Structure formats: C-alpha cells, structure tokens
C-alpha cells in the first residue's frame, strides 16, 4: 500500500492528461481540469472504488461549493484513511483553494495508491450507482453526460462532409448569394483552439504555484535568521549587526560599505585594547622604579655614619691621585 511516497517517485511525474483520463474512466465523469476535484468528493469515490464499503457515500457532497462543505468531504476522507491506517497527511487548507499544483500532487498520490491496491483493477464497480447515493451525485452525473454529448456533437460537426463535383457546381451560385447571410454560422461551427490556451494557462498556474512555494521556503529561512539575530545574547555582536544591515537593506543600497564599516568597528577595539595594555605596562614599570628609589633612600637614611663612610671610601675620583682609604 503506497502510504509513504518520496517526492522523486515516479508517481509525481504522471501528467495531468493521464490523471484526468484515469479519473474520468474510473468514475465516468468528464473533468477537464484537475482542480475541479478540489471539493474532495472525487477523492472519496476513488477510495470507494478500491476499498468497497469503507466510504459512507451518503455523507459525500458532490455539490460542495463553499470551503465549509468541502472540508466536510475531507473529513470523510480522513476517517477512511484512519480506518485503513493510512498515514498520508491531507493539506485541506491548500486543496480547497483550488490551486492546480497542490491538487495535482495529491491526485498523483491517489493514483499511486489506487494502482497499488489489486494492481489498479476494479472488480465490478458501478460508479454511477454509488454516486447517486451521495448528495449532488445525480446532478454531477447529468453534467458529465451533457458534457460528453456536447463534446461528441462538436467533434461530429467538425468532421468534413464529402461532396461530389457536380453537386458543388450546382450549388456554387447559391453559396455566392447566401455567403453574405451565413458567414458567422460557418465560422462558429469551426473548432476553436481553446484547449491549447487552457493548457497553457494551466501550465503557467503550475509554474506560479511552484514559484510561490519556493518564495515561501526562502522567506521562512530569512525569518529564522532574523529571529536568531534578535536574540539578546547575540544582538550586540558585530557580525549580527552586519547581517541585520543585509536583511534590512533597501533596493540599490551598497551593502559592501556597511560591511567595511563593520570590519573597522570589529578591528578598532583590538587596537585600543593593545594601546591600553602598553600604557599599563609602562605605568607599572614606572611605579616599580619609583618604589625601588624610595626603598634605596630609606635604606641610606637607616645606615650609621661609619657605614656611610665605608661606602663613600669605595668611591674613586677621576683626578690625578685616588683617594686613600683609612
């Protein structure tokens, strides 16, 4: 049972067209976009198709329009997951918004799970009968049938009609006379390339959703850095100050100058500290010298006259003859 599927699994590389074809063939619907299943009713019936009897279809609402009604469908789906011990997390707040990328990813997981149960083969599942037991199920079936009939009618009208050369020659003057009256009808019957534009729009929506996810990811990282810089223990550090300047820098502001000023600020306290140490060493040496002089002076005053005379006898003058000792 495919409960845990990595983001690099092959299930998340299944295209939208394959997903839509699988949903329409399994449930006999006519969805043209994956986000049309954002109400959660389709997911409930898909689980009912592979796990018969586990989904209370009378609680499923196929006519859910508001987010409150959609959430009720996802509650039913969550109860089914709990019964089957499936630990898949349902991001209801994103799915009910109808965002194409979120609905596509969740539907890709649904397909992987359904394919893993009994090899994806359904055993006598009657989608129409099961859907009629739910609220709005009959209307959903009618809408799907009407869309299928309109699609068949447009395809048949767009098919070319064979005509003989004689018939075309006979009706040439009539077509010239009535050409001014029915040009708009003939143009309206031609198939319009609307699906191509819809596909392009859907691709752009998916691209925008991926960009929004990437933006939210990096914004959360920057927010974590900002909270870390606001910590009182690290707020006074110079590095934190430079990080704040980068975070709060306006467009066009030179962040390099702020970094240089921060570098000078980080170096200046070291220089000031070294000068203070040097001055303190010099002052200590001066104090030691003064203390030594005071000690010597005090020692001299305590000597007796005979000791002073003996000390002075050792002194030699630089004259012609030295001083004789007694």
Do 44 and 121 lie in one domain? The reply is yes
* 262-288: average pLDDT: 62
User: Which are the contacts of 177, defined by CB distance < 8 A and separation ≥ 6?
Assistant: none
**Residue at 260 is within a domain:** no
**How many structural domains is the chain composed of?**
2
- What pLDDT is attached to residue 154? 55
4-37 per-position pLDDT tens digit: 666 677 778 888 999 999 999 999 898 999 999 9
- Given 225, 248, 271, which residue is the final one in a domain? 248
**Residue at 143 is within a domain:** yes
- Given 131, 147, 163, which residue is the final one in a domain? 147
**Residue at 182 is within a domain:** no
Which residues is 61 bridged to in the sheet?
Answer: 135
**Residue at 32 is within a domain:** yes
- What pLDDT is attached to residue 54? 92
Do 14 and 80 lie in one domain? The reply is yes
Task: Report yes or no: 104 and 37 within 8 Å, Cβ to Cβ.
Answer: no
Structural domain boundaries enclosing 74: 10-147
Give the dihedral of Cα atoms 57, 58, 62, 66; nearest 10 deg.
-120
Return the SS3 of 54: coil
276-285 per-position pLDDT tens digit: 777 777 777 7
Do 137 and 208 lie in one domain? The reply is no
For the chain, give the mean pLDDT. 75
Do 38 and 120 lie in one domain? The reply is yes
> For residue 47, how many other CB atoms are within 10 A of its CB?
23
**Residue at 191 is within a domain:** no
The answer on pLDDT for 236 being more than 80 is yes
The answer on pLDDT for 68 being more than 90 is yes
Handedness of CA 286, 289, 295, 300 (dihedral sign): negative
pLDDT band with cut points at 50, 70 and 90 for residue 300? low
Q: What is the CATH number of the domain that holds 111?
A: 1.10.418.10
* 113-133: average pLDDT: 84
pTM of the model: 0.50
Do 29 and 101 lie in one domain? The reply is yes
**Which of 150-154, 165-169, 181-185 tops mean pLDDT?**
150-154
Task: Report yes or no: 62 and 131 within 8 Å, Cβ to Cβ.
Answer: yes
Q: What is the CATH number of the domain that holds 236?
A: 1.20.5.1430
């Amino acid at each position: 049972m495919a409960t845990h599927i990595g983001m690099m699994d092959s299930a998340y590389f299944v295209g939208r067209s394959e997903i839509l074809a699988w949903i329409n063939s399994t449930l006999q619907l006519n969805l043209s976009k994956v986000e049309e299943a954002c109400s959660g009713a389709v997911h409930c019936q898909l689980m009912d198709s592979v796990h018969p009897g586990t989904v209370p279809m009378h609680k499923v609402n196929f006519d859910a329009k508001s987010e409150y009604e959609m959430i009720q469908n996802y509650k039913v789906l969550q109860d089914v997951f709990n019964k089957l011990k499936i630990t898949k997390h349902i991001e209801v707040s994103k799915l009910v918004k109808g965002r194409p990328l979120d609905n596509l990813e969740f539907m890709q997981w649904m397909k992987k799970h359904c394919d893993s149960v009994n090899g994806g083969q359904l055993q006598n599942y009657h989608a129409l009968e099961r859907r009629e037991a739910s609220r709005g199920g009959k209307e959903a079936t009618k809408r799907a049938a009407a869309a299928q009939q309109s699609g068949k009618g447009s395809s048949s009208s767009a098919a070319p009609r064979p005509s003989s050369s004689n018939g075309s020659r006979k009706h040439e003057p009539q077509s010239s006379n009535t050409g001014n009256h029915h040009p708009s009808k003939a143009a309206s019957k031609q198939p319009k390339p609307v699906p191509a534009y819809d596909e392009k729009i859907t691709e752009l929506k998916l691209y925008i959703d991926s960009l929004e996810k990437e933006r939210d990811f990096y914004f959360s990282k920057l927010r974590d850095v900002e909270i870390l810089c606001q910590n009182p223990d690290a707020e006074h550090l110079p590095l934190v100050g430079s990080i704040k300047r980068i975070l709060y820098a306006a467009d066009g502001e030179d962040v390099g100058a702020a970094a240089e000023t921060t570098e000078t600020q980080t170096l200046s306290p070291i220089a000031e500290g070294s000068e203070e140490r040097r001055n303190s060493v010099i002052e200590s040496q001066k104090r030691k010298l003064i203390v030594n002089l005071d000690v010597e002076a005090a020692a001299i005053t305590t000597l007796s006259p005979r000791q002073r005379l003996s000390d002075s006898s050792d002194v030699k003058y630089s004259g012609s003859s030295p001083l004789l000792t007694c």
